[in-house]
Structure 1
Amino acid sequence: MKVILFGATGMVGQGVLRECLLDSNVESVLAIVRGPTGQQHAKLRELVHKNFLDFSAVEGELSGYDACLFCLGVSSAGMTEADYHHVTYDFTLAAAQPLARLNPGMTFIYVSGAGTDSTEKGRSMWARVKGKTENALLKLPFKASYMFRPGFIQPQHGITSKTKLYRAIYAVMGPLYPVLKALAPKYVTTTESVGRAMLKVARQGAAKQVLENWDINSIASEGASPAAR
């Protein structure tokens, strides 16, 4: 399986990239980034591209892929709706539209979030914008599209968030993760589980297009190897 990955330098994207590089079913990964990840691997190739609103200059690099794992995103904290829409909706569709045209057999998986508003009419700004983005992606002519809605994501294997606020939150919540998992297992997950589930869905599909946190954990745990990862 040949994979395109967006958001490889973010917390979720780092976890997904790790799982891609560990997975023997993944032949190659093209990470489309605005700055280098700093990683080197035989399966990894990076395409540094600054303008995430226009991919026409690099379209020749974007065909022949089986899956796109779209993990690019920002926190809505302190952002206006217009600015958040620009990064969340405009960037995503600017990438997805040419990919759908160039790779009709592609599976597109988008990392959204628990509480996303599919009606696009709720009071929560971020949830409306995420819902609008999901709805637009589901209309594109991919082979298949899946929306992942994780809840609280615990970073693993030394992965950290680039967002200062999130780093502070994880510093406090990290030690409490076993308690959260015990009390609310349906609403917490890990970077490893998200990555494993995305790859499994990219290969095998899923029974529904919108996958909530508990779906992600269930898929990730199916047939999990007991070997240390």
Structure 2
Amino acid sequence: MKLIISGATGFVAREVIRQSLSRNEITSVIALARKPVSIPEKLPPDANPSKLKSVVIEDYENYPEEVKNEFAGAAACIWTVAITPTKSKTYDFEEVKRVCQTSTIAGLRAMHESGVSKPFRFLYMSGAAAERDRGKPGETENKVLQLAAELDGVEASVVKPGFITAPGEIMKSIAGTMIQYTIGIASISVVDLATAMLDQVANGFEKDPLMSEDLIRIAKAHQVPGE
């Protein structure tokens, strides 16, 4: 399967790319970002770097034909472009809406128009605390699901992870444990998050939304060999 990963220079996307290069069912990875994407470091021995193709997009709201041509035949997309809830407080609301909502909808439309395969699975990464009410950050989730229902052959789901930790970062792990203890939202490692998202786009969406507990369970049941 051909997989599109948006926001490909980001923390989560880099791990998704790293794992994708070792998964046999993934034959091609389109890394979409506003600057060139390099091959991740510390690839496992079974990784195939030749599967990765970096595609630069100047504006996530506008897709030239040469970019759409790269999308053709794709079976899925993991969309990670966003402004995190913490950082969103420092941005104007309209800018947050443009990045998180307008760009996402434009991206999904462009992919559909490019001639992706059917079914085409679109997985949108949100946050555990995002509410789907109108005017709130989680409203984008509803917009994505509604558009997917309108487009022929498109399936969509939303992942809503809690605090995301990185391997070897003890302080982040401690912070994640404290957050889970105080507000009841489970933290998840970036490795498990990427594993679970790749499983869902490859094998079909189990449910919507997919919360941290779901993602951890899926990751443990479908670990990539060597992880």
Compute the TM-score of the two structures, normalised by the length of structure 1.
0.81
Q: In the alignment, which residue of structure 2 is the partner of 1:112?
A: 126
Contact 1:100/1:140 (<8 A) preserved: no
Q: Within 2, Cα distance between the matches of 1:131 and 1:177?
A: 22
Within 1, Cα distance between the matches of 2:29 and 2:127? 24
Query: Would you identify which runs of 4 or more consecutive aligned residues in structure 1 move more than 3 Å?
Result: 101-104, 174-186
Aligned to 1:167: none
Unaligned runs of 5+ in 1: 121-127, 158-169
- SS in structure 1 opposite 2:73? coil
Q: Secondary structure at the match of 1:42?
A: helix
Secondary structure at the aligned position of 2:206 is classed as coil
- SS of the equivalent of 2:32 reads strand
- Where in structure 2 are the equivalents of 1:87-126 lying within 5 Å? 87-101=99-113, 102-120=116-134
Distance 2:170 2:58 in 1: 31
- Residue identity opposite 1:87 in structure 2: V
One-letter identity of the residue aligned with 1:43? K
- CA gap of 1:176–1:115, structure 2 versus 1, over 3 A, is closer
**Per-residue Cα deviation, 1:2-30 (whole angstroms, up to 9, x for no partner):** 10010111111112111211222211100
C-alpha distance in 2 between matches for 1:48 and 1:14: 15
Match of 2:45 in 1: none
1:55 equivalent in alignment to 2:80: no
Identity %: 25
Aligned residue-pair number: 209
* Counterpart contact for 1:89–1:129, Cα < 8 Å: no
Structure 1 residue 228 corresponds to structure 2 residue 226: yes
Question: Is the 8 Å Cα contact of residues 20 and 195 (structure 1) preserved in structure 2?
Answer: no
TM-score, with length taken from structure 2: 0.82
Aligned partner of 1:81: which letter? Answer: F
> C-alpha deviations, 1:178-215, integer Å up to 9, x for none?
67779999611011111111111112223322111111
Mark the runs of 5 or more structure 2 residues left unpaired by the alignment. 41-48
